[in-house]
Amino acid sequence: MKAICDRFVPSNCSSSSTGEKRDISRTSLVSDSASSDNNSNLTLCPDVVASSSPVSQQSKEASTSEHKPDCTTHNGWTVILKTASMASGAIRRFQERVLGPSRTGISSSTSEIWLLGVCYKISDGESSEEADSGHVLTAFGQDFSSLILMTYRRGFEPIGDTAYTSDVNWGCMLRSSQMLFAQALLFQRLGRSWRKKESEPPEEEYLGILELFGDSEASAFSIHNLILAGESYGLAAGSWVGPYAVCRSWESLVRKKREETDVKNKSFSMAVHIVSGSEDGERGGAPILCIEDVTKSCVEFSEGETEWTPILLLVPLVLGLDKVNPRYLPSLIATFTFPQSLGILGGKPGASTYIVGVQEDKGFYLDPHDVQQVVTVNKENRDVDTSSYHCNTPRYVPLESLDPSLALGFYCPDKADFDDFCIRATKLAGESNGAPLFTVTQSHRRNDCGIAESSSIVTSTEFSGEEEHEDDWQLL
């Protein structure tokens, strides 16, 4: 089945595949779960589809070749299409077992939508299918389709000393994290208001960002280099990893690239800071954002040339046991209202996605599980087709069904923006009824016994006036 899917499905897997360019103004953004039965966007999910290791790929390709004579008959294409259709149906059922039934578009709700810090307020008229070309929905569609999509790729150069030339079935968390980092660079270099224009040649800065995430060791932030930088955190070709490990791996990769080049020529021109649960940055406990530690990260990144640089904050969390504790959902939703929001790395167990927006209790996401051929992008070639790096069809998942292990991302371009973020985060913690996602402190101090303590700016009880309840924090 895998061989059949690889041969006939990938070209249609991506909602933005090469042969499927669509004008967003003509694409309906309003649908419900029933319409998903006719949706051609299929995904391959790990843990339910066979491994894509070189051995299994060779055996499946050999199996497929045994059936080639059947395809040479006068009705050969009918046989192929029927077989591909059966495989597609099986893949859809596999997807539903992991991510649940595919839900696309925007529901009929008139509730506002938050997409990485931008609010889209839908009127009663615009929420109906007849008015799907309304101004707000069109603006939302343009914004969503301008976000950078990273998916499974096949046909790239082997990863390290392995024989892996594809990350199908195991690389979804790596691809999700690439999306978040690419989005941070997009915001920094082109601004939050940037939109992809189909009628104009792509900007050099935009192509330069995609080039950084190419699928080879020559690209600074390829999965090849990410796996190499994250070996000490368990990253390896063919293995699935969690949010905490991938966040630490990015921190290591950015540090490595900073050391390889001078400050002025950095490929990633912002510091990376992991918000963790203890003073020394190790795992365990409720995450604490210490302002002094963030300042230190900026100074180290600039090699002492300045006290502040643009910074990317990553907050790995575990918010329950089998699923996200409902007490945390209001705070998770509220983070998308922050202007600094970069969304969530999260999904179902073994199936990571990049959640970029919310509407009520639904999370809009970009899905890395579509399989596409490798595309070489460089800023010198402005004729390159980049449609496979974008998605025109919003998909959503109930937030209550998310795996409790996830990571938040925030981008602060300057000190004033970071100060604004701290004020918002502190207020959010105060309104969390004793279940904050993370807290904010000014500094660490030590008591008379030499034990590190945090000097908090504000506590949740100061805002709520209620007793602090025991939350469901787990060791990361």
403 as an active site residue: the answer is no
Query: What is the DSSP-derived secondary structure letter of residue 473?
Result: -
Q: Nearest CA to 403 among 134, 46, 117? A: 46
Using DSSP bridges, classify how beta strands 439-446 and 288-290 pair: parallel, antiparallel or unpaired: parallel
Residue 368's alpha-carbon distances to 285, 427, 449, 460, in angstroms, are 30, 33, 49, 36
412 as an active site residue: the answer is no
- DSSP 3-state of 421: helix
298 as an active site residue: the answer is no
Choosing from 6, 367, 370, 403, which is the catalytic residue? Answer: 367
Choosing from 13, 369, 390, 471, which is the catalytic residue? Answer: 369
Contact 238, 164 (CB under 8 A): yes
Tell me the C-alpha distance between 325 and 471, whole Å.
9
Backbone angles phi, psi at 60, to 5 degrees: -75, -35
How far from chain centre, in Å, is Cα 25?
25
Q: SS3 string of 194-242?
A: CCCCCCCCCCHHHHHHHHHCCCCCCCCCCHHHHHHHCHHHCCCCCCCCC
* H or E stretch at 11: helix 10-13
Contact 363, 397 (CB under 8 A): yes
Choosing from 13, 45, 172, 298, which is the catalytic residue? Answer: 172
Q: Nearest CA to 311 among 180, 407, 417, 209? A: 417
Tell me the C-alpha distance between 57 and 61, whole Å.
6
Using DSSP bridges, classify how beta strands 405-412 and 371-373 pair: parallel, antiparallel or unpaired: unpaired
Catalytic residues: 172, 367, 369
